[in-house]
Amino acid sequence: IELKISLDAKNDNVLSDSNQLSQIFLNLVINAADAISSSKDKVKGQCLIKTENINSADAKAINNMPSIKVSVVDNGSGISEDSIGNIFDPFFTTKESGKGTGLGLFVCFSIIEGMGGKIEAKSSNKEEGATISIYLPLCEEIKQ
C-alpha cells in the first residue's frame, strides 16, 4: 500500500488531546488498509491523507469558524449505499465475523463530536474507494 500525504492547510492549530487525534488517524488508516486489502480489484493500493483549510464562510466550516479538513482517501473496496448511513453507529461493521468490532469509526465519531467537529464519509461506488473527512475548528496558536 502506497501512503501519500498532502498537507495543504496553512493553519492546523486545533485544541485537542494528541492521544485522541492519534486514535482517530490510526482507526481511519487501518480502515483504509483493510478496505484496500479486501478489494476485489487488485490494483496497487493507495491511501492519501490530505489537509486543507476551510474558511468561515464555507458551508462546511464548524459554527462559521475557520476550520481544518483532514481527509483519508483510499482506492479500496468502497462503502455500499446500504452501509454508508450506518458506519458511525456502534458495533456496525462490514467486516467478516471476528475481523472487527464495529467500534473504530464510532470512536472516531464520538471523539470528533466531543472536540466540536464533524466527520463524514463519501463513496461514489462500491469497489471505487472511499473518503472519510473530519472537520475541526481552528484555534489561535497557543504560546508556551
pLDDT tens by residue, 97-141: 777 778 999 999 999 999 999 999 999 766 789 999 999 999 876
Q: What is the structure's pLDDT at 143?
A: 55
Largest separation between any pair of C-alpha atoms in the chain? 50
**Rounded distance, CA 53 to CA 73, Å?**
17
Q: What is the mean pLDDT of residues 15-28?
A: 95
Domains and CATH numbers, the chain: 2-137 (3.30.565.10)
**pTM, whole model, 2 decimals?**
0.89
Residue 4: phi and psi, rounded to 5, are: -115, 145
φ/ψ bin of 132: left (φ > 0), alpha (ψ from -120 to 50), beta (otherwise): beta
**Rounded distance, CA 11 to CA 35, Å?**
30
Share of the chain above pLDDT 70, in %: 94
Q: What is the structure's pLDDT at 141?
A: 66
